[in-house]
A = this chain, B = another copy of it.
Amino acid sequence: MPFTYQYPRAALTVDCVLFGFDGGALKVLLIRRGIEPFQNHWALPGGFVRPDETLDAAALRELQEETGLREVYLEQLYTFGEIDRDPRERVISVAYFALVRRADHIPDAATDAAEAPWFEAEKIPALAFDHAEILQTALERLRGKIRWQPVGFELLPKKFTLSQFQALYEAILGRELDKRNFRKKLLALDLLVALDESTNAASRRPAQLFRFDQRKYQALTRKGFIFDL
Listed in ascending order, the chain A residues whose CB lies under 8 Å from chain B are 1-12, 49, 51-56, 76, 78-79, 81-83, 90, 92, 94
Contacts of A92 in B (CB 8 A): 12, 55, 92, 94
Contacts of A52 in B (CB 8 A): 83
B residues within 8 A CB of A10?
Answer: 9, 12, 49, 51
Interchain CB contact under 8 A, A4 and B3: yes
**Are B82 and A94 within 8 A (Cβ)?**
no
* Most chain B beta carbons < 10 A, residue from A52, A56, A92: A92
Q: Measured between C-beta atoms, what is the minimum distance from A79 to chain B in Å? A: 5
Sample of 20 further A-B pairs with CB below 8 A, known A1-B5, A10-B51, A92-B94: A2-B4, A3-B9, A4-B5, A5-B9, A8-B51, A9-B9, A9-B10, A9-B12, A10-B12, A10-B49, A12-B12, A12-B92, A51-B90, A52-B83, A53-B83, A54-B81, A55-B79, A56-B81, A79-B94, A92-B92
> With the chains together, A2 CA to B6 CA distance in Å?
7
Contact between B81 and A51, CB atoms less than 8 A apart: no
Q: What's the minimum C-beta distance from A39 to chain B, rounded to whole angstroms? A: 21
Please state if A78 and B81 are interface contacts (CB–CB under 8 Å). Answer: no
Pick from A9, A51, A83 the residue with the most CB of B within 10 Å: A9
Q: Do A7 and B3 have beta carbons less than 8 Å apart?
A: yes
Cα-based distance from A7 to B5 in the complex (angstroms) = 12
Task: Give A82 to B12 CA distance when docked, in angstroms.
Answer: 14
| Chain B min CB distance to A15 (Å) | 13
